[in-house]
Structure 1
Amino acid sequence: MKIDELAEKLNELKNLRAEKRSDGMVIYSKDSTDYDFFFSLGYKNKSLTDVGFDWSCLDDVKPADLHKALNLIDRFLHTPIDERFPEKKYRLMAMRYVGGPIAIKQYVTSLQASGDYMTFNFGSKENAGKWTDKELRNLSQWFPQEAVDAMKEPVEDD
């Protein structure tokens, strides 16, 4: 189970609220303040013994929701750590001189690689192709990896 999936499923429960943070996730009862979470979970935790509990903050949590939350967390903890994180996606962009002395930023919408050449098709950000790190590393067969890295721009979650 990926982190985003865990947060989504926990937030679907009636009396719970999950909040992702840079180092992990905290889980609150629906109406709690930001300091009254009852679970704290690091993204690289391996078992329920590594999860932080504060049972005094369970006032509004129904037993059925707590049971479902524990099952979801246990399922997450049984997922190998490297599979928990969604793969980051990137756009490729370049500054191009299209029709004059001023360079404009354009995005790669598609590319074609064959034998001894590579062709980039450019367009707008909305039409830009999205690639994972693994896919972009494969491009190094035709194009220097340093150039690909210079063209990468992370795709923000919309």
Structure 2
Amino acid sequence: MRRAVAAVLLAVSGAGSLVACGTPEPTVLGSTWQVTDVWVTPGDPSAVPDGGTLVFGEASLAGSTGCAPIQGTVTFTRDGETVQAADADAVTVDRLEIDVPAADCPAAWTHELLTTMLEPGATFDLRQDTDTELVLTLRGEGVDRPAIGLAAV
């Protein structure tokens, strides 16, 4: 009898482990995200040599473009309704302040791309394939929508 119960418990705990191997829900809080790629035009290079960083709070965004500090407010949503970040499938930039970068900043290309994409009113779909990778895809009509690739650091 004990062996049967132990076998059932082992099978149930193993099944729980298999479920955990699926695609994780986006968990944007609790990590500093390094910008690794910015996809704007198909066929153009996307790797960012001098990436910025993004840090999300429940209603905030802070970090750097690689040239200048940024800070602002965001709203997390699921199906158009405001939700906690852990339950979100999208994030909208509500307000953003970006300091003026130094004229000789080596990450000027990254700065320009990020400031163009992270403008107030921009909504991004959240996709997290692993615990350490996050993709923000700009919502819109196009097939090849701009996106930002991030890695947890």
TM-score using structure 1 length: 0.27
Structure number having the greater strand percentage: 2
Larger Rg: 1
TM-score w.r.t. the length of structure 2 is: 0.28
Structure with the bigger percentage of helix: 1
Q: Of the two structures, which has the highest relative contact order with CA contacts closer than 8 Å and spacing of 6 or more?
A: 2
